[in-house]
Structure 1
Amino acid sequence: MIAGLTWGAIALGLTATLVAGVVRGLAGFGLAILLVPVLALAIPPVEAVMIGNLLGFLVSFAHIRKQVADTERSAWIIAGVAVLAIPLGYLALGAAGPALARLLIALVAIGAFVAVLLPKKPHHTPGPKETVATGVASGLLTGFAGMPGPPVVPYYLRRDIAPAVARASMMSIFLVTQGAGATIAVLLGKAHWEELWLALALFPMVLAGNWLGTRAFGRIDPRAWRYIAGGVLGAAALGAVLKL
């Protein structure tokens, strides 16, 4: 055992981290959606959320120059609003019991998957209310589940925009929200040194997976990319339901 974790739990965590990194590099999201539930099987949910936020923040610096250049302006608005809502998410996580938390996370994952399956809006430009609502929901979920993605993914995937723009915009939102999520956790006294060391230990696997996913992203057509991104949400929704 290492740090109270069995070798089986360590192997599961490393494998899940690598897979989540590949998905993140390919789809632009999915790191926390896939990783946090797995980590929560071996460590307390609050610690899993913290590690998910730390890993999402650290890996966001890979290819950051091109990412920022491709980011849509709406992403910065969503990220700014989300930061304001993160503390409420942490407070909700502390108040909810594990069973209620799992139920709410499952409902969010299912809702995001259904939203992606709805007919696309090729000529739709989200208004201020939709953009702000997306930011609020993303911030709440960053604090509550370490998952800023479920509200953000339908916002970009249902529109007829280039995959590179959608992917970069989501990644930039996660850079801000997960960095703020980790910082706010420290300020609220919910973070400990153990989460930082675990995140640093898992980071090479995330980085390797992200590199593999990024290489694959440039070699698939836009339609296939959207199917893959939607499939990630579907798998996350199924996993959340099974965990109930």
Structure 2
Amino acid sequence: MADFAIAGFALWQVGIALAATLASAFVRGLAGFGMAILLVPVIALALDPVQAVMTANLLGLLVGLTEWRWIMGYAERSARTISAMVALTTLPGLVVLALTPAPLARLLIAIVALSAFAAMLMPPRKAAVHGRPATLAVGAASGLLTGFAGMPGPPVVPYYVGRPIPREVAKASMILIFTVAGGIGLMSGAVLGELDLRLLALALSLFPVVVIGNWLGRKASGHVGDKAWRIFAAAVLGAAALAAILKL
């Protein structure tokens, strides 16, 4: 039994990935963000950091494509600008990840998750519509983090959450960016030779769990207030980041 494997990965690795995927997909469905932020630090405990990032990108792309019609119906125009910047800056971030020793990469990914956790604890600000320079900066930072950590969310979430826009618009805008980020991350990984076919097999085996978790989160979203889902997401995010640091 110790040698039993799925898609070339040990059973314990798949088990960690399954549990993390279900929890992170639920948060995504509930809040519109958080899947990569929650998923990458946890599965990086079982997989190589590059494998963890590639797996998160694959899952983000697949689940985003299932919601494409809804996304394009609600997303803000700013999401397209940010997505274009993500396309330009993801590859440099992935190059840095490929050159970074695995223990240091895990630590930096955990720090990114912790910083996002801290940002979520801050009260939302009713900001005005952001100007083009701020939008471009958010896109550049999101792309770099997509490549290095598989986490486009930390710059994007504060940009949308708390603004005086409908919740569906904020969620669709963020998910559009995350879907594009997943696709760009995969293409960048392929260019660098980091896209392993085993990861595709693993992602496809995890995808039904993503669909279930995302569906449950969307169902719960209509019954959970903003304060409750922020507390839930922050708690899971903090636990994931802490686990990654303790592993080091």
* 2:196 matches 1:192: yes
Scaled by the length of structure 1, what TM-score is found?
A: 0.90
Instruction: After TM superposition, give the deviation of residue 17 of structure 1 in Å.
Output: 1.4
**Helix, strand or coil: the match of 1:60?**
helix
- Aligned residue in 1 for 2:90: 86
Q: How does 1:1-244 map to 2 (within 5 A)?
A: 1-2=4-5, 3-244=7-248
CA RMSD, Structure 1 to Structure 2 (Å): 2.0
Instruction: After TM superposition, give the deviation of residue 236 of structure 1 in Å.
Output: 4.2
Letter in 2 for 1:70: Y
Instruction: After TM superposition, give the deviation of residue 129 of structure 1 in Å.
Output: 1.9
**Helix, strand or coil: the match of 1:159?**
coil
Task: Output the CA distance in 1 between the equivalents of 2:120 and 2:235.
Answer: 10
Task: Output the CA distance in 2 between the equivalents of 1:49 and 1:218.
Answer: 30
Q: Is the 8 A contact 1:25 1:212 kept in 2?
A: yes
Describe the shift of the 1:226–1:72 C-alpha distance in structure 2 as closer, same or farther (beyond 3 A). farther
Instruction: After TM superposition, give the deviation of residue 37 of structure 1 in Å.
Output: 2.2
- In the alignment, structure 1 segments of 5+ residues that lack a partner are none
Q: Is the 8 A contact 2:41 2:113 kept in 1?
A: no
Instruction: After TM superposition, give the deviation of residue 231 of structure 1 in Å.
Output: 4.2
Task: Output the CA distance in 1 between the equivalents of 2:245 and 2:166.
Answer: 31
Instruction: After TM superposition, give the deviation of residue 97 of structure 1 in Å.
Output: 1.4
Instruction: After TM superposition, give the deviation of residue 98 of structure 1 in Å.
Output: 2.0
**Helix, strand or coil: the match of 1:126?**
coil
Describe the shift of the 1:84–1:112 C-alpha distance in structure 2 as closer, same or farther (beyond 3 A). same
Between 1:223-232 and 1:58-67, the stretch displaced more is: 223-232
Aligned residue pairs: how many? 244
Scaled by the length of structure 2, what TM-score is found?
A: 0.89
Describe the shift of the 1:239–1:168 C-alpha distance in structure 2 as closer, same or farther (beyond 3 A). farther
Task: Output the CA distance in 2 between the equivalents of 1:72 and 1:230.
Answer: 25
